[in-house]
Amino acid sequence: MLKKLIIGNWKMNPKSEKEALAIVRSLITSTKNSKNAEIVICPPFPFFSCIQKLKLKKIKIGAQDMSEESEGAHTGEVSLRMIHSFGVKTIIIGHSERRAGGDTNMRVNKKISLALKSKTIPVLCIGESSRDTTGFYLGFIKDQLHECLAGVPKSQIKDLVIAYEPLWAIGKNALREATPEEFIEMRIFIRRVLSDMYDTKVAHTIPVLYGGSVHPENADAFLTTGEADGLLVGRDSIIPKKFAAIVACVH
C-alpha cells in the first residue's frame, strides 16, 4: 500500500521560533502512531534551522516556494541550493497565493524544471478560480498543466506531485466547499491530460492531492470517497490537534 502524502502549508505562520517548535513537538507526539501517512510540514524559511535541530524521523520538512533562478542578484529570493542545504527535498510550487502575487505559468514552469533536474519533489498547485456550466474551467486546468510542464521530459515527470486547489473553495471568501465527487472528476481529467502529454502509465504514477479548505471534518471523505493520494492542508496545519486529526484519517 502506497502511503498518503499529507502536506501542511504553514504560510506566514507562526509568529516566532518558540511557537514553531511547540507546534512541531506537539505533532511529533500526536502523529507518532501514524503508519500509512507520509507527513511533510512546510514552515517559513527562517524556521528551517531550529526545526531541523529536533532531528525529525516521521515528519519531513518542505518548502513553500523557491526561486526560478539558480543564483545571482535576486533580492529576497531563496534558491534551490539554499533549500537543499537543509536537506529539504519537497517544495510547493505555483500555490494560488504565489500566483496572485505574480507567479505566471512561465515562472512556475522554470521552477518545476529546475526542481526536477535537481532530484527534488515539486508539488505543483493548479486550480480554477470559478466553475461554469460549459466546462470552460477544464480548459483552464489543461492549459495550466501544458504550460507549467512545458519541456519537462518523461524521464523526470515521475517525481512530480500535483495538488488540485479550487480557488472558489478556499479561504474565508469561499463560495462553498468542494465535494469529493468534484475532486474525482478533476483527478480523472488531470490524469487524462497527463496521459496525452506523456502516457497512461506515467499519468497514474503521479500523485494527485486535494487542497482546498481541508479540515478534520472533510479529510476522510476526500481520502476515501475522493480517492485522493493525499492532502495539502493550509490553516489547520498550524493547529496541532486539527492537523493530527487529519493525519489520523489515513487508515
Provide the annotated active-site residues.
95, 165
What CA–CA distance (Å, rounded) separates 202 from 24?
A: 35
Amino acid occupying residue 84 = H
Distance CA 67, CA 77 (A): 6
Q: Residue 158's closest CA among 205, 209, 92?
A: 205
Find the DSSP H helices in the chain: 17-30, 48-52, 80-84, 96-100, 105-117, 136-148, 154-157, 180-197, 200-203, 216-223, 240-247
C-alpha–C-alpha distance, residues 127 and 36, integer Å: 27
Q: Is 11 exposed, middle or buried (0-12, 13-18, 19+ CB in 10 A)?
A: middle
* Set of cell numbers at residue 96: 494560488
248 to each of 36, 73, 223, how far by Cα in Å? 9, 44, 11
User: Residue 82: what residue type?
Assistant: M
Q: Which residue has the cell 519537462?
A: 152
Residue 93 DSSP SS3: strand
